[in-house]
């Protein structure tokens, strides 16, 4: 049975003046899955997110959240969404718990038990009654995550959620986010310039450029292994691989080929039978950064940040 998407962008387009910012975007987001949203500067990420949370109206198309079109029933659709934008704003003079009580009043039926539950989910139970002013940035991010989860959203949008965190804070936040996606079945949508973090955090990636969706790919596919081979005579190996359609790239000392792991011993035997001297056969995995730069032609993912 095919799982029903929590969120659907259907023919989403945005034109400002004569410029088409977003061009016929179609994307489905599923429960329990974390999707990374990547794109160079000016690609349309922020505009897309603004339309997804109702801060901007599409010129054409619509956003459906749990089957509800935002254009038809804005309040019902948005009631199923939680949002974290960079560093969440909290009342620093109040405790973390009192902040959550305050935000809980904005939603119907958020009980004390639910507040306690989200505190446990983000690992703040030992510090929740201390003032937010005493919290580290990582703790404030986790409190922001707890606040976004109070009303049991089906869809969670995070825009640069790990910005400013140290490596330990990033790892901690990623762990809690993964747990929430899996246990609560929440669909998570993460926009970030940190490609290495997206690679570790996400199940899927969606790449946008010039307002168009270039690619949507499972991370398991994005991490597909290729093999690098060093052998002599290299020209003969190159001819064999080209004839079989396996050759991907040639280098001065070796070749990059596309082949399943199970097929490697067969290839080694084949080359040995041709009296070819093998010096190295090793996995070669392209990073998400490599693939992003290939897709976008080297477009910068963010000017204002560095990895």
Supply the CATH number for residue 84's domain: 3.40.50.300
Residues whose CB is less than 8 angstroms from the CB of residue 48 and which lie 6 or more positions away in sequence, other chains included: 9, 12, 22, 25, 37, 208
> DSSP state, 4?
P
Do 119 and 245 share a structural domain? no
For residue 29, give Cα distances in angstroms to 7, 34, 145, 161, 202: 5, 8, 19, 19, 12
Predicted pLDDT of residue 108: 87
Considering only CA atoms, which of 160, 28, 15, 135 is closest in space to residue 83? 160
- Count CB-CB contacts under 10 A for residue 307: 10
Do 270 and 127 share a structural domain? no
Predicted pLDDT of residue 134: 94
pLDDT tens digits, 168-209: 888 888 888 899 899 889 999 998 877 777 878 888 989 888
Do 165 and 38 share a structural domain? yes
Question: Given a cut of 60, is residue 223 above it in pLDDT?
Answer: no
Residue 109, in any domain of the structure:
yes
Predicted pLDDT of residue 43: 84
pLDDT tens digits, 285-296: 666 666 666 666
Residue 292, in any domain of the structure:
no
Do 64 and 29 share a structural domain? yes
Considering only CA atoms, which of 296, 144, 291 is closest in space to residue 223? 291
19 or 287: which leads in pLDDT: 19
**Rounded Cα–Cα distance for residues 97 and 124 (Å):** 10
Do 248 and 109 share a structural domain? no
Residue 299, in any domain of the structure:
no
CA dihedral 102, 103, 107, 112 (to 10 degrees): -60
Predicted pLDDT of residue 222: 56
Do 189 and 259 share a structural domain? no
**Strand positions, DSSP E, the chain:** 7-16, 19-29, 34-38, 60-65, 68-69, 81-85, 155-159, 187-191, 204-209, 212-218, 225-232, 247-250, 255-257, 277-285
Do 236 and 188 share a structural domain? no
Predicted pLDDT of residue 305: 37
pLDDT, the chain, mean: 85
Residue 155, in any domain of the structure:
yes
| Residues above pLDDT 90, as percent of the chain | 39
Question: Given a cut of 60, is residue 304 above it in pLDDT?
Answer: no
| Residues above pLDDT 70, as percent of the chain | 89
Sign of CA dihedral 119, 123, 129, 131: negative
- Lowest average pLDDT, out of 75-84, 118-127, 194-203, 219-228, goes to 219-228
**Rounded Cα–Cα distance for residues 104 and 114 (Å):** 9
Domain that holds residue 50: 7-221
Total domains present in the chain: 2
Do 38 and 16 share a structural domain? yes
Do 181 and 232 share a structural domain? no
pLDDT tens digits, 213-222: 887 877 766 5
Predicted pLDDT of residue 65: 94
Residue 110, in any domain of the structure:
yes
Do 43 and 182 share a structural domain? yes
Predicted pLDDT of residue 155: 94
**Rounded Cα–Cα distance for residues 153 and 136 (Å):** 26
257 or 58: which leads in pLDDT: 58
Please provide the size of the chain in residues. Answer: 307
| CB of 179 closer than 8 Å to CB of 288 | no
**Rounded Cα–Cα distance for residues 305 and 120 (Å):** 32
**Domain's final residue, options 203, 221, 239:** 221
Do 266 and 216 share a structural domain? no
- Lowest average pLDDT, out of 33-47, 253-267, 289-303, goes to 289-303
Do 248 and 212 share a structural domain? no
CATH number of the domain within which 272 lies: 3.30.70
Distance between the two ends of the chain, CA-based, in angstroms?
Answer: 40
- pLDDT category of residue 303 using cuts at 50, 70 and 90: very low
Residue 295, in any domain of the structure:
no
């Amino acid at each position: 049975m095919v799982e029903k998407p929590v969120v659907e962008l259907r023919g989403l387009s945005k034109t400002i003046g004569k410029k088409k910012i977003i061009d016929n975007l179609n994307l489905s987001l599923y429960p329990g899955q974390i999707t990374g949203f990547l794109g160079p500067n000016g690609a349309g990420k922020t505009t897309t997110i603004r339309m997804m949370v109702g801060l901007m109206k599409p010129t054409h198309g619509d956003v459906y959240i749990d089957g509800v079109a935002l254009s038809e029933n804005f309040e019902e659709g948005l009631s199923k969404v939680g949002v974290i934008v960079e560093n969440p704003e909290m009342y620093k003079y109040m405790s973390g718990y009192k902040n959550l009580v305050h935000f809980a009043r904005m939603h119907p039926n958020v009980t004390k038990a639910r507040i306690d539950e989200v505190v446990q989910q983000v690992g703040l139970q030992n510090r929740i009654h201390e003032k937010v002013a005493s919290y580290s940035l990582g703790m404030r991010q986790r409190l922001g995550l707890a606040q976004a989860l109070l009303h049991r959203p089906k869809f969670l949008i995070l825009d640069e959620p790990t910005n400013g965190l140290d490596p330990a804070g990033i790892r901690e936040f990623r762990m809690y986010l993964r747990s929430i996606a899996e246990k609560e079945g929440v669909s998570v949508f993460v926009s970030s310039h940190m490609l290495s973090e997206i690679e570790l955090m996400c199940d899927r990636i969606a790449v946008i450029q010039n307002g168009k969706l270039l690619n949507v790919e499972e991370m398991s596919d994005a991490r597909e292994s290729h093999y690098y081979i060093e052998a002599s005579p290299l020209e003969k190996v190159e001819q064999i691989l080209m004839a079989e359609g396996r050759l991907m790239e040639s280098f001065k000392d070796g070749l990059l080929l596309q082949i399943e792991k199970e097929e490697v011993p067969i290839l080694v035997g084949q080359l040995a039978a041709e009296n070819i001297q093998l010096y190295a056969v090793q996995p070669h995995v392209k990073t998400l950064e490599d693939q992003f730069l290939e897709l976008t032609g080297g477009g910068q993912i963010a000017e204002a940040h560095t990895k």
